[in-house]
């Protein structure tokens, strides 16, 4: 994914979403993940871009109406954890398909990129 960014980003999707097949969850994630954008984010990304970093997205929404769930996004470079983001899924996830949480997935990945850019801009290390 994010093919226009250096070597791209390898994506791993795991989790479960209320009984939906994993392929549906994977498609929802593929359509929703935010790629690095903006000068600060791109500058931070270039520091970890070779070889292609690994983004792990885990979405969990238990079976049963009324169950909310969570999303976890973790970025790895050269086998080391770089940065991550975790948040609860929106209220819409309680009774809808995985595609309804596209905004949640996009928001979590965008926050992760923004946090990475802020850390790099402040002179922090790529790998904590």
pLDDT, the chain, mean? 84
| pLDDT at position 39 over 80 | yes
Q: Residue 99: pLDDT band by 50, 70, 90 thresholds?
A: confident
CATH code for 10-121?
3.30.160
Which range (19-28, 78-87, 90-99) has the least confidence? 90-99
CA distance 125 to 98: 35
User: What pTM does this model have?
Assistant: 0.85
CA-wise closest residue to 31 among 96, 93, 100: 100
């Amino acid at each position: 994914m994010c093919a226009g960014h250096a070597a791209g980003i390898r994506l791993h999707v795991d989790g479960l979403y209320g009984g939906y097949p994993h392929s549906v969850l994977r498609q929802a994630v593929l359509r929703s993940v935010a790629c690095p954008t903006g000068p600060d984010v791109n500058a931070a990304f270039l520091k970890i871009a070779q070889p292609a970093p690994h983004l792990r997205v885990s979405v969990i929404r238990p079976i049963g109406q009324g169950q909310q769930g969570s999303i976890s996004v973790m970025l790895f470079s050269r086998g080391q954890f770089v940065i991550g983001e975790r948040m609860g899924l929106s209220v819409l996830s309680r009774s809808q398909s995985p595609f309804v949480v596209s905004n949640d997935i996009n928001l979590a990945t965008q926050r992760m990129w923004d946090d990475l850019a802020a850390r790099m801009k402040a002179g922090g290390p790529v790998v904590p």
